[in-house]
A = this chain, B = another copy of it.
Amino acid sequence: MIKTRFTEMFGVEVPITCGGMTRVGKAELIAAVANAGALGFLTALTPGSPELLVKEIKKTRDLTDKPFGINLTILPTINPVPYDEYRRVIIESGLGIVETAGNNPQPHLPAFKAGGVKVIHKCVTARHAVKAESIGVDCVSIDGFECAGHPGEEDIGGLVLFPVTTARLKIPVIASGGIADARGLVAALALGCEGANMGTRFMATKEAPIHQKVKEALVANDERATDMIFRTMHNSSRVARNAISQQVVEIERRGGAKFEDVRELVAGTRGGKVYDTGDTDYGIWSAGQTQGLIHDIPTCMELMTRIMTEAQQIIRDRLDKMVA
């Protein structure tokens, strides 16, 4: 066991989160993460409505008695999203843990506080982390350059971003991006974080509700097999490199790309349809640089047990002996 301010705050055994992943953070995965002692997050918007989220929470609860949370990603959208309804579902669920992402969570904080819900806010810059602490969130999850999905536009590697952030905050910080094993977890703890978030690594587990071919691609790919797309639109996304992502990169390289220019390429494929169909060569799908550290498809329990065992070995049998 590794005890940190994070494990204490959230009542879990393992200082690891499986943060919100659209179309991936579903009952079967999040319950498996919980049963393995870590903290997973259902993605509120994935089921499709607040009512369906209630059902997804019930389904998860039927599979585990341990703590889990809900991710609420707040973004500007064309079709209005009933965020207040989702917030109400999260509070009334009694789970008591939410992971907010995207926009400033401030409008939702009073209700969460009143409802006894602890808030982990995901951000990608140290100054947003400082701001999040100042408005009263309980914990911050900070995403570095290596991460899958949205690393922001500042390109600060976790090795620098984590210690810069932890030095400026009093609340616990979770390191996110670039971590897939015990070595990364211990590094994160050394850098001042109280836990580590893993996304890509949890996609390559038996319980992840995604196509086997996607999992096999994560194992086959190395650390170089990602592309950063949508940089020219100030909405950078790190995705698995394939023919489609390379076409998007090329369109952006020519300069002045707009989403319209690449819409046909990504149409019907963003939002993770590839995760269901397994057509990894066609769609655009998120994956982090940790692909280079992923060599198998274990159960969540096997993965957490391995990471906890190896983390203790790194601390006791490697670092301690170097000091001795």
Contact = CB atoms under 8 A, between A and B. Distances in A.
Interface of A: 1-4, 126, 144-146, 154-161, 163-164, 177-179, 181, 183-184, 186-192, 222-224, 228, 253-255, 289-290, 292-293, 311-312, 314-316, 318-320, 322-323
Given A315-B323, A322-B4, A323-B312, A183 B157 contact: no
A320 to B, nearest CB: 6
A157 B154 contact: no
Contacts of A181: 163
Nearest to A3: B322
Contacts of A190: 183, 186-187, 190, 314, 318-319
A161 B178 CA distance: 9
A14 to B, nearest CB: 12
Contact of A191 (B2, B3, B184, B223): B184
Copies of this chain, count: 2
Closest CB pairs A-B (n = 5): A159-B178, A187-B187, A157-B157, A186-B190, A146-B157
B154 A189 contact: no
Given A146-B159, A187-B187, A315-B315, 8 more contacts: A3-B322, A4-B322, A144-B157, A157-B159, A160-B223, A186-B319, A190-B314, A315-B320
Given A191-B187, A320-B320, A179 B164 contact: no
Contacts of A3: 322
Contacts of A184: 159, 163, 191
A174 to B, nearest CB: 14
8 contacts: A156-B289, A159-B179, A159-B187, A160-B290, A187-B191, A189-B318, A190-B190, A315-B320
A228 B192 CA distance: 27
A303 to B, nearest CB: 16
B160 A178 contact: yes
